[in-house]
């Protein structure tokens, strides 16, 4: 069985992982604190931080896996989608590493990798094909019909903001630092989700929209603040719970629609927002009530990580789907 080095650098996490026989031997993630001051990822700062982090992160992944670099069979790297300056760091490093060791290079789609994280062997139940995956991250919101490891079709997508972006932009309105998603999750735990109501999008079929929700949140808060300048601090927990409820409700309504439309009852979630505790618990309850088989990745494989790039590389390695050294990263990459 191959030993795969996975490299992820699409946004603001520099990560390297070693995978052998679908099992993770190491998965090192260096987060970039620098962006919290700016309310979002600053692309130029992200690529600089990747440059600083990439070699120590790969070195740590190889050491922690207790292997030698000559044991590695192939390098899998994120080709896109993502920030071009960030992708370039991982791509260039991976090419150099593969050429140096004379091993194959494998280009990976980041969004497909989020889905394939379900197949990292943790002695858990894995989804049966075909399954539906609701992939919810900072840059994307997609419902994907997954027919095989390498055969996936997007059947619904966002027309504007992604669900993670809706969390982060709402958090910014509340004065919380980036990334705000986990903070909304935290404060919402003690809040009343019915305290505030925000506008709901009317989008056809399986597509999503979150930009109207963000505007509705902004205008209602500005209105309340006219009478009470301390409105946000006095109502933070209720606001977080209501915002979280609105976003998760939009996601779940479309997922249910997709289940009805396709008749598929094998349901998976993936991407950073699938770390949200309310989303996870509501979906668990729903799947129990409606008898869906639900698959939720381990917490550390929800947000960006190289373990998912390595598992995607594993399946491409078995299919001998290798890239050549002229491969270039792509900021917008669909499938
Ligand atoms: O998949 P990911 O790590 O990176 C992208 O590919 O975009 O997703 C990051 C997104 C961010 O928007 C972040 O706020 C959101 O996932 N996120 C959460 C939670 N943890 C991460 N959103 C809500 N609740 C969470 N617990
Ligand atoms: Zn991601």
Give pLDDT tens digits for 139-154. Answer: 999 999 999 999 999 9
> In the prediction, which pLDDT does 199 show?
86
Please, which residues have CB within 8 angstroms of residue 39's CB and are 6 or more apart in sequence? 172, 177, 178
> In the prediction, which pLDDT does 296 show?
95
Q: Is 139 a pocket residue for ligand 1 (Cβ < 6 Å)?
A: yes
Q: Which residue has the higher pLDDT, 196 or 35?
A: 196
> In the prediction, which pLDDT does 33 show?
82
230-240 confidence digits (pLDDT tens): 999 999 999 99
pTM of the model as a whole: 0.94
Mean predicted confidence (pLDDT) in 86-105? 98
Q: Is 123 helix (H, G, I), strand (E, B) or coil?
A: coil
Return d(Cα 182, Cα 180) in angstroms, integer.
6
> Which atom, in ligand 1's list, is nearest to the CA of 110?
6
Ligand lying nearest the CA atom of residue 179: 1
1-41 confidence digits (pLDDT tens): 899 999 999 999 999 999 999 999 999 999 888 888 787 88
Q: Is 135 a pocket residue for ligand 1 (Cβ < 6 Å)?
A: no
The percent of residues above 90 in pLDDT, for the chain, comes to 93
Q: How confident is the model at residue 155 (pLDDT cuts 50, 70, 90)?
A: very high
> In the prediction, which pLDDT does 50 show?
96
Q: Are 73 and 2 in contact (CB under 8 A)?
A: yes
Give the mutation target among 13, 136, 164, 331 for probing the ligand 1 site: most ligand atoms within 8 A of CB.
164
Q: Which of 39-48, 194-203, 220-229, 270-279 has the lowest mean pLDDT?
A: 39-48
Q: Is 81 a pocket residue for ligand 1 (Cβ < 6 Å)?
A: no
Give the mutation target among 166, 181, 246, 269 for probing the ligand 1 site: most ligand atoms within 8 A of CB.
181
Ligand 1 mean position, distance from CA 71 (Å): 33
270-317 confidence digits (pLDDT tens): 999 999 999 999 999 999 999 999 999 998 999 999 999 999 999 999
Mean predicted confidence (pLDDT) in 201-205? 92
Q: Are 306 and 17 in contact (CB under 8 A)?
A: yes
> Which atom, in ligand 1's list, is nearest to the CA of 162?
12
Q: Is 167 a pocket residue for ligand 1 (Cβ < 6 Å)?
A: yes
Closest CA to 264 of 273, 272, 254, 256: 256
Mean predicted confidence (pLDDT) in 115-144? 96
> In the prediction, which pLDDT does 8 show?
98
Mean predicted confidence (pLDDT) in 156-174? 96
Residue nearest to atom 24 of ligand 1 (CA): 276
Q: Are 7 and 76 in contact (CB under 8 A)?
A: yes
Q: Is 168 a pocket residue for ligand 1 (Cβ < 6 Å)?
A: yes
The percent of residues above 70 in pLDDT, for the chain, comes to 100
> In the prediction, which pLDDT does 320 show?
97
Q: Is 276 a pocket residue for ligand 1 (Cβ < 6 Å)?
A: yes
> In the prediction, which pLDDT does 157 show?
97
> In the prediction, which pLDDT does 32 show?
84
Q: Are 106 and 320 in contact (CB under 8 A)?
A: no
Q: Measure the N-to-C terminal CA separation of the chain; round to a whole number of Å.
A: 27
Mean predicted confidence (pLDDT) in 72-87? 98
Q: What is the mean pLDDT of the chain?
A: 96
Ligand 1 mean position, distance from CA 171 (Å): 12
Q: Are 177 and 39 in contact (CB under 8 A)?
A: yes
Locate 26 and state its tokens: 């190491």
Give the mutation target among 272, 300, 309, 332 for probing the ligand 1 site: most ligand atoms within 8 A of CB.
272
Half-sphere exposure of 207 (CA within 13 A, CB side): 9
């Amino acid at each position: 069985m191959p030993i795969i080095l996975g490299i992820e650098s699409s946004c603001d996490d520099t990560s390297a992982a070693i995978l052998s026989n679908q099992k993770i031997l190491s998965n090192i993630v260096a987060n970039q604190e620098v962006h919290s001051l700016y309310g979002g990822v600053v692309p130029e700062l992200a690529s600089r931080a990747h440059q600083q982090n990439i070699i120590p992160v790969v070195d740590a992944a190889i050491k922690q896996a207790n292997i030698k670099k000559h044991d590695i069979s192939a390098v899998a790297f994120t080709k896109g989608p993502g920030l071009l300056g960030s992708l370039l760091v991982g791509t260039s490093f991976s090419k150099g590493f593969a050429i140096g060791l004379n091993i194959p290079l494998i280009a990976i789609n980041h969004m497909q990798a989020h889905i394939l994280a379900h197949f990292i062997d943790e002695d858990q139940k894995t989804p049966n094909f075909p399954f539906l995956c609701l992939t919810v991250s900072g840059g994307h919101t997609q419902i994907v019909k997954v027919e095989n490891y390498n055969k996936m079709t997007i059947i619904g997508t966002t027309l504007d903001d992604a669900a993670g972006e809706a969390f982060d932009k709402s958090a910014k309105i509340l004065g919380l630092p980036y990334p705000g998603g986990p903070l909304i999750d935290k404060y919402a735990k003690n809040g009343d989700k019915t305290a505030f109501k925000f506008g709901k999008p009317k989008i056809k079929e399986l597509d999503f929209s979150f930009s109207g929700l963000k505007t509705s949140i902004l205008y209602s808060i500005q209105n309340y603040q006219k009478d009470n300048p301390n409105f946000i601090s006095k109502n933070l927990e209720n606001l977080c719970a209501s915002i979280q409820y609105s976003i998760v409700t939009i996601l779940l309504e479309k997922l249910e629609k997709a289940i009805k439309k396709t008749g598929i009852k094998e349901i998976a979630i993936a991407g950073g927002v699938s770390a949200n505790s309310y989303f996870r618990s509501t979906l668990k309850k729903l799947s129990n009530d409606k008898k869906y088989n639900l698959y939720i990745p381990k917490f550390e494989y929800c947000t960006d990580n190289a373990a998912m790039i390595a598992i995607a590389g594993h399946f491409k390695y078995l299919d001998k789907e290798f890239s050549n050294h002229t491969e270039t990263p792509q900021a917008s990459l669909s499938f």
